[in-house]
Amino acid sequence: MVFLLQKTLVYAAPLLIVALAGMFAERSGVINLALEGEMIFGAFCGAILARFFVNAGVFSNSIQVMFIVVLLFSGICSAIFSLLLSLSAVTLKADQTIGGTALNMLAPAIVNAFALSLFNSEKIQMPANFEGYVIKNPDLPALVQIFGDKAYISTYIIVILFIVLSVWIYKTRIGMRLRSCGEHPQAAASVGINVFKMRYLGTTISGFLAGIGGYAYIATVANGTAESSVGGMGFLALAIMIFGNWKPLGIALGALLFGLLKCIGPVSSSIDFLQKLGLPMFFYNIIPYVVVLVVLALTAKKSGVPKAEGVPYDKGMR
Amino acid sequence: MKTKFQSLREKKGFQSVCASVLCILAGILVGFVVMVLLSFFNDRISIGDAFSGLLILLGGPFSSGTAKYIITNLGDMIFYASPLIMTGVSVAIAYKTGLFNIGAAGQFLMGTMGALLVALNINTTGQPFLGVLVWILAVLVGAIFGMIWGAIPGFFKAFFNVNEVIVCIMTNWIAANIVSWVFTAMPHLTNAGAGKSGYLITTAATGNGTPKIGLNVLFSGSYLDLGIVIAILLAVVIFVMLSKTTFGYELRACGANKYGARYAGMNEKRNIILSMAIAGGLAAVGGAIYYLNPGIEFKFDSAYGKLPDYGFNGIPAALLGSSNPIAVIFVSLFIRYLSVGGDNLPSAGFNKYIADIIIALIIYFAGFSKLFSELLQKRRKKAEAFPAAVKEMKAEETSSQVTETITEAPVPEEILKEPAEEEKGKEA
């Protein structure tokens, strides 16, 4: 059971932060379909830096510090990449779906082209001492073990970021301004808020978080392989964001529920009761998706979708 | 008046073509810059290679060397474009109804499963006529599987008001797992050949592959078959349905304004479900015609881990063709044209993914195509503002049926908009 919950946290962390990334963009009024691409791009940049650090012997004594530095670097690279989306969706008022789709195609293409050209392989395997990332405290009491043993520092950073940013977007002045641009940009502009700036802020924060999520994904769930795919995690995060009704608490619940259900399959062989049932892996794989659908159908409520989402800001519109 | 309207429309079409060409040129230019950049980073590539790489890329299948390879690659280009046309039209029809069909991948897989279950379980070796019948049955079963699968997001959207994007993403992964599950449970369909692991047998073993109708003679050595004809036919049918029938009009009305459609007495729930079902059917036919080709193998054991690219590539095909089924045909062929050029790139020292970068960039710039054509329009308007106004006045003076022509002729949108806005400004 402890093992299951540990796994759940590891799996849910990237989902959590990327879903929050989606929320930041959409709350400012930009549909960020490019989450998947931003994750791929950020993770790839992070992997290159991690490789460089290990080969150059930097941070060889403090692997956790290196992990944090690389994580931040992934976020920054991804934030810069997301400026492409802002440029097209905010400044040039292009169709936001097209921009997002283009970035989703561009990121894997860039990763493949550069990885093959520079490293002669479509995959970048992380360095050998990669295991050092894992925090091991097997002596802790069971309940604390869930959080303290076999954990990654990225999970803690993600949870802290999630809480801080959730409070920030609801309780601070800039956060409220950002949200107002997703609901009624003309009204926001009428009280002196710069809609373009706010939307740029929203998508850039979104890109930053997606990059962090991307690196956290490849470093933990994907066992340190950076390639041109993050297993559909970005789209899944988008779904979790919609599931959470564009609200942090809903997103947290959704990510944890999904993570838990997703991890039952891999763990089932070590739980006697489930092992006796002998169900195929595919059955467990399907469970989380079906449960999300059923929950959505039952809780069919008023959608919390930001009203101005996906509509380019037009000063003259009424 | 009529001829004037026609010439204006021609101008508008000309402008959008201009804008598309600009997008493509911009994409290729930036792609070329990437190649030059790569040549700096990589010692094995010189700047001269970047130029020859560009030529190879633009040559598409025609840069494949000897005539024999050119013909084979040309045929393959068309073959690989056919499933893309289907998923592209699938996304397009949903888009016209105001729905974003991100679930083409799952529908594609369901279509593949339905078609292969029929075709691989019935052995018609040596009976060509029966083989064709089974093939038709296989495509139909695949389409029905896809329609049911596509209807699920529509159903959730119509009756539970659940966002179709989330349902599509969920059903994609459910479909991927079901496909792997079903074929894992059917070991008699697994290809037991040497060096094969996790592949199904193909229709070459059961003798009911897609008929070649002589295309294999025309394009010798390629996979090309009847599938492309099916794809083009279906695209045309969808185009006619959308633009010429009442049902198509209802679908588009639901997409333009669902409350307006409801107010006008249309059953918007039924339309949403039907639109998604048709979209699902189309994507499924794409999967069916692709995998019913005797030369294409389906790897079922890893299907649950990665969704097929065809499903997602339908989105850019639809967007680049501005959701027009006929345009999707040409866009799909163009995308494959560049991809084949990319496959030939290694001879210049680059890898094939450069083509993917350029395609992505073209789609990125396609988002600005409206902006491009608006810019073109503005320039033209400024240049012609004075003469045009004089002409118009003269035309009105000479015309004896001014009122009639005004009520009859559909006035283009941009004419209506701009003066109205200017007037508003004056009032204020």
**What confidence tens digit (pLDDT) does each residue in A188-197 have?**
999 999 999 9
Digit-coded pLDDT (tens) for A111-130: 998 888 888 888 887 765 56
Residues of B whose CB is below 8 A from A305: 163
Buried b (16+ CB within 10 A) or exposed e, A109-142: bbbbbbbbbeeeeeebebbeebeebeeeeeeeee
For the question of an ipTM over 0.85, the answer is yes
**B109-140 pLDDT, tens digit each:** 999 999 999 999 999 888 888 999 999 999 99
CB atoms inside a 10 Å sphere around CB A251: 27
Span B41-73, pLDDT tens digits: 777 778 888 888 899 988 888 888 888 889 999
Residue A120: domain span: 2-234
Is residue A285 assigned to a domain? no
A315/B44 Cα distance (integer angstroms):
52
* Whether pTM exceeds 0.90: no
Structural domains of chain B, with CATH: 1-64+344-428 (no CATH), 70-335 (1.10.3470)
Q: Is residue A156 part of a domain?
A: yes
Judge whether A290 lies within some domain. Answer: no
Q: Are B90 and B283 in contact (CB under 8 A)?
A: yes
Domain count, chain A: 1
Contact B318, B88 (CB under 8 A): yes
At residue B157's C-alpha, the angle toward residues B155 and B163, to 5°, is 140
Written as one string, the DSSP assignment of B156-172 is HHHHH---HHHHHHHHH
Q: Look up residue B14 and give its two tokens.
A: 């000309």
Q: What are φ and ψ of residue B225, in 5° steps?
A: -150, -165
**CB-CB under 8 Å, A286 with B353:** no
If you count them, how many residues does chain A have?
318
What b/e string do you get for B53-85 counting C-beta neighbours within 10 Å, with b at 16 or more? bbebbeebbebbeeeeebbbbbbbbbbbbbbbb
Q: Is residue A32 part of a domain?
A: yes
- Measured CA to CA, the distance from residue A201 to residue A174 in angstroms comes to 10
Closest A-chain CA to B313:
A105
pLDDT digits (tens, 9 = 90+) for B222-263: 899 999 999 999 999 999 999 999 999 999 999 888 888 889
CA nearest to B317, candidates B49, B33, B81:
B81
CA closest to A240 among chain B residues: B166
Q: Which residues on chain A are in Cβ contact (under 8 Å) with B370?
A: 94-95
Which residues lie closer than 8 Å to A175 by C-beta, 6 or more apart? A168, A169
Which residue, among A33, A88, A117, A245, would best test binding to B if mutated, counting the most B CBs under 10 Å from its CB?
A117
- Is A296 inside a domain boundary? no
Q: How far apart are CA B174 and CA B164, in angstroms?
A: 15
Q: Is residue A318 part of a domain?
A: no
pLDDT tens digits, one per residue of B340-390: 999 888 888 888 898 999 999 998 998 887 777 777 777 766 666 655 555
A28 part of a folded domain: yes
**Residue of A94, A105, A242 lying closest to B163 (CB–CB):** A242
Domain membership of residue A74 (yes or no) is yes
